[in-house]
Amino acid sequence: MRTIILASKNKGKIKEIKELLDEYDLEIKSLFDYEEIPEIEETGITFHENAAIKAKTIGDLLNYPVIADDSGLIIDALDGRPGIYSARYAGEPTDDYQNNLKVLKEMESVDEDKRGARFVAVLAFYRPGEEVVFSEGYCEGEITFGERGKHGFGYDPIFIPKGYTKTMAELKDYEKNIISHRAQALHQFKVWLKEHGL
Ligand code: IMP
């Protein structure tokens, strides 16, 4: 069995990525298995840069293959915010509830037909000594006027995926895992793994 580290302490992300990699015979660890590692500063200005920083820092420290996910919500009416600042939009430490309140407040006066948004996930796969490999996924949708649903994490309660009436947080885990940005990015990554005989 091969070991791979998920460079994350976000329980929602870890759960989803583990489920999405279920078909592989992998021992999947996360940063909860390495509590001694301090928080990695995400100093990049793009999702790609931040995913690469996380993957390389952890891969070089632990000498294992790493997957890092940098993701977030891009809202058209807010000029792309919260974007790469999604995790800490309402300040430190990360507080999903406060982040959602802040977005809803900023979107209060935005008309129904101007509430378009998308989730983005960029995955960086790094094997120590090799180049970083990226994959990315998107999920289009719109922002609600209030929170709905208890599943998922982050902005799921205020995001309705395109073609749905339920929020991402009202969908079952397996339903989110079919359409999510993370699922799309992992699908692309699995194709790469297959092409490279891994
Ligand atoms: P990161 O850990 O810097 O990549 O920040 C990711 C942040 O983007 C999370 O803390 C959430 O606020 C948001 N986010 C990313 N993916 C999702 C998702 O699948 N659902 C809801 N929010 C998400």
Within its chain, how far is the Cα of 68 from the centroid? 9
Q: Which bin fits 162, alpha (ψ -120 to 50), beta or left (φ > 0)?
A: beta
> Does the predicted TM-score (pTM) go above 0.85?
yes
Tokens at residue 45, please?
Answer: 């200005």
H-state helical runs in 46-180: 47-62, 96-106, 173-179
Ligand 1 touching residue 100 (CB < 6 A): no
pLDDT of residue 172: 97
Q: Are 144 and 167 a contacting pair, CB within 8 Å? A: yes
pLDDT of residue 195: 93
List per-block mean pLDDT (blocks of 10 residues) for the chain, which spans 198 residues.
Answer: 93 96 94 94 96 97 97 98 97 96 98 98 97 98 98 97 98 96 96 89
**Length reported for the chain:** 198
Nearest CA to ligand 1 atom 14: 72
d(CA 8, CA 53): 12
pLDDT of residue 144: 98
User: Considering Cα of 184, then 190, then 192, then 195, what sign does the dihedral take?
Assistant: negative
pLDDT tens, position by position, 128-151: 999 999 999 999 999 999 999 999
Tokens at residue 72, please?
Answer: 């977030």
Ligand 1 touching residue 137 (CB < 6 A): no
**What are the CA-CA distances from residue 110 to residues 39, 115, 141 (Å)?**
36, 7, 15
Active site residue 70: yes
Neighbours of 14 (CB within 10 A): 18
pLDDT of residue 197: 81
pLDDT of residue 164: 98
Q: Which residue of 73, 85, 122, 178 sits with most ligand 1 atoms within 8 Å of its CB, as the best mutation to test the pocket?
A: 73
pLDDT of residue 79: 98
pLDDT of residue 61: 96
> Could you tell me whether strands 116-126 and 66-75 are parallel, antiparallel, or unpaired per DSSP bridges?
antiparallel
Ligand 1 touching residue 170 (CB < 6 A): no
